[in-house]
Amino acid sequence: MADEQRSSLRVDEVLPEGGSAPPAPVPARRDEDLREHLPGVEPERRLSDWGRSERIEGLFDRTLYDFFYNYWFRCEVEGVENVPASGGALLVSNHSGALPPDAPMIAKGIREEHAHPRQLHITVEHFFKGYPGFSMLVPKLGCVAAHPANVQRLLYDEGELVLVFPEGRKGSEKLYKNRYKLRRFGRGGFVEAAMRAQAPIVPVCVVGAEEAAPIFAHVGALKRLTGLIYFPITPTFPHFGVLGMLGYLPAKFKVRFLEPIYFDSEGLHEDKSLVQSVAHEVRARIQENLFEMVQTRKSVWFG
Amino acid sequence: MEATAAPERRSGPGPAGAPDAPPSRRILVTGLSTYWGGLLAQRLERDPSIECVIGVDSRDPTRELERTEFVRVGTQHALLRRVVIAAEIDTVIDTRLTVDSTTVASRAAHENNVMGTMNVLAACGGSGSTVRKFVFKSSAHYYGSAQDDPAFFTEEMTRPYAPGTPIERDIVEAEASVADFAEKNPRTLVTLLRFANVLGPDVRTSHTKLLALPAVPMILGFDPRYQFVHEDDVVNALAHVVEHQQPGIFNVAGDGVLTLSEVAGMLGKSYAPALPPWGTGVAAAVARRLGVHIPPEMLGQLRFGRGLDNRKLKATGFRYRYTSRESVLKLSEHFRLHPILRAVEEPYHYEREVEEFLRWSPNVRDAAGRREEREDSGQPAELERRGAGERTPAPAIEGYDDLNASEIVPMVAALEPAQLSALREHERRSQDRRTVLAAIDKALARAENGAS
């Protein structure tokens, strides 16, 4: 016991020097269940502890999202019953578009079509937190930084829905010619997160986002000059300015939620080969369904 | 770790080898003259199970203390050690850490935070030491504020980047030496508390000063997440870990994480995105010239904010009195009242001769004598007090006897003269607090002036 107590105070002082990005610290397993000690909800507040604002999200939902969902992209959702009605679940989706329109459409789809409408937490790159304006808006719309500890807290402690894009920016920066071909699925971190929280993974396929915001080329010099993560050439950007990012083409959207994958026993995440094979399996399922959906659609614009 | 799950289990003497945990009886508070040291000593000396409270600091105490003994020692470890050994101190509470670089020069802060901590630890450790428990007050600045932070820091996390500001470097270094001490002295139970930004009517930090401005300055385009802890909860948390055996590190922060714009809204202020997102340091330097002190460790917070996971301390049985939101609301009440109350509170000046006379002179019959009498007889004194309460009319404020002075003073102004005199009588007979009596007198005088 003495050893344990001592080790509880010892913090490894391995601090990287300089600005190189360190590996994200993975939350250590808690010895006890702290879920009952989560802070209570204060009804007077209109923001959650994550910085999510009901007011601003509602405003976006009623105007911009509603317009895009119903009239511009004419979203079609299938298999929404695969999203659990309660408890944590990790939604894993393909990703595309310079300013990806897929995440809000998935969230809107669950709100509109699900028997128990739930809010969805969208993981985004840490990059957004450093950008003035974006850093104010993005958390208010229900986005959280893609940190393993954040995902763990949302899935396990709070039992919420979390959407991840394992392709990350490799997905959103891919060129039009590579459309619907999934990139590498990271290091399988999302599978580890789901296993640690014992939350099911729900694979999601989105068709239409690639055509709605195609990227034709990247300009490396301008990317370095502006400090953006990438500087794409799209039908409307950069010649229509920053708002050109929102100039999506009216492609028909189809969102398909696949059968969930459950992890019921503890400690699965320690098995790296299992993690990798599950990540591979999820990727294969999404890829297969994407090809099938593209194959059967008659028109990019009318579905 | 097991101990944190079930605090009751360890209240008895522990097995050999483990930090044996007799309840704290003889306590040394370092940094007695800091805000927290003084408050904590006031709190501890009220507990009759604690035999003695000794406070050390290099400056005079800033709070009126009843039985706490003040010894003027800085952080010279040889002197401290003599005090510790001579008084057979079993618990040392280190409240000295400077976490706000606007209050002292950075060299003095470094001297205090790093060298001072090392010296205090040297005085507590080693063979022959009587110290069985060491409590260290640290700060959430340990975690820093960076772009790739998690939304809620848990205790075992470290900061992603090396600290960039002097205060943060100091805190990381001081914590490292505390961790080292814990490793080398397995018989001493070490508790380390990391506090979020403190708010409260009395405490003055660079954050309360910033929030007191007519508009809350922010960095353009950023709305950081902030978590606060009320000053009462800080003292309660320190007292909690003194009373219970809780080795390890704990975050102390009120429930709920607010955004700064939300805080400004609650204070009824507008927020001024006055700091540019680029070149913020330069702008802060300009602001300093203009009299608005924004320390460097705060710039990170104003940009990225910080949230703490406070559940580990809650799991040990500690209950917060205020959430982050309630702390801000309390502060806003204070901001409204402060201009009116300023004159009522008289600052305390430490006079060595007076304090020694009050403690040791055989001729003093008042406070100390009365206390002893009450402790001896116990029951009758309590009965007498209750009898006195019945004779006077009940006070006009509900639950009056449970309120503390700072809560009563604002309510006094709203009472009628008749109620005031009744209240004055009740207060004089029951708790006889000077601040409350002064406030009542003032209100009475105002009522009379109004009538004539």
How do residues B128-159 score in pLDDT, each as one tens digit? 888 999 999 999 999 999 888 999 999 998 88
Question: Is A4 within 8 Å of B15 when comparing Cβ atoms?
Answer: no
**Do A214 and A249 meet the contact criterion of CB atoms below 8 Å apart?**
yes
A231 in any annotated domain: no
Write the residue in B17, B221, B262 that is nearest to A135 by C-beta.
Answer: B221
Q: Identify the CATH number of the domain in which residue A170 sits.
A: 3.40.1130.10
pLDDT of residue A281: 93
Tally Cβ neighbours within 10 Å of residue A77.
Answer: 19
Please name the helix (run of DSSP H) or strand (run of DSSP E) that holds residue B274, with its range, or none.
strand B270-275
> How high is the pLDDT of residue A280?
92
Which residue ranges make up each domain of chain B? 2-341, 394-452
Number of domains in chain A: 1
**Contact at CB, A153 and B312, closer than 8 angstroms:** no
Q: Which residue has the higher pLDDT, B24 or B49?
A: B49
What secondary structure letter does DSSP report for B160? Answer: S
Q: Which residue of A has its CA nearest to B266?
A: A45
Residue of A nearest to B180 (CA): A10
pLDDT digits (tens, 9 = 90+) for A75-134: 999 999 999 999 999 999 998 877 788 999 999 999 999 999 999 999 998 888 888 888
3-state secondary structure of B26: strand
**Residue A63 forms part of a structural domain:** yes
**Per-residue pLDDT reduced to its tens digit, A234-288:** 888 888 877 777 788 899 999 999 999 999 888 888 888 999 999 999 999 999 9
DSSP three-state, residue B159: coil
Lowest-confidence pick of A295-299, B184-188, B353-357, B415-419: B415-419
Distance from CA of B374 to the nearest CA of A (A): 40
B222 to chain A, any CB pair closer than 8 A? The answer is yes
In a domain, A71, yes or no: yes
Residue A30 lies in a domain: no
Would you say residue A225 lies in a domain?
no
CA dist B269 and B267 (Å) reads: 5
pLDDT digits (tens, 9 = 90+) for B389-420: 444 455 666 667 667 777 777 777 777 777 77
End-to-end CA distance of chain A: 64
Q: B37 to chain A, minimum CA–CA distance in Å?
A: 23
Tell me which of B111 and B420 has the higher pLDDT. Answer: B111
Please give the DSSP secondary-structure letter assigned to residue B53: E
Q: How many angstroms separate the CA atoms of A193 and A190, rounded?
A: 5
> Rounded to two decimals, what is the model's pTM?
0.79
Which structural domain range is residue A127 located in? 50-214+250-296
User: Could you confirm whether domain B2-341 is CATH 3.20.20.140?
Assistant: no
Q: How far is A37 from chain B (nearest CA, A)?
A: 6
Q: For residue B429, is pLDDT > 80? A: no
What is the pLDDT, as a whole number, of residue B289?
87
The B residues from 133 to 152 touching A (CB cutoff 8 Å) are: 147-152
Identity of the residue in B159, B160, B304 whose CB atom sits nearest the CB atom of A129: B304
Q: What is the pLDDT of residues B174-223, one digit of tens each?
A: 999 999 999 999 889 999 999 999 998 888 888 888 898 889 989 999 99
At residue A171, what is the residue type? G
Structure tokens at B133: 């428990």
Inside any domain, residue A302: no
Using CA atoms, how far apart are residues B52 and B367, in angstroms rounded to an integer? 17
CB-based contact (8 Å) between B325 and chain A? Answer: yes
State chain B's maximal CA–CA distance in angstroms. 75
CB spacing of A135 vs B223 below 8 angstroms: yes
Q: Residues with Cβ < 8 Å from B246, sequence gap 6 or more?
A: B3, B4, B7, B191, B240, B316
Closest C-alpha to A22, from A13, A31, A34, A30: A13
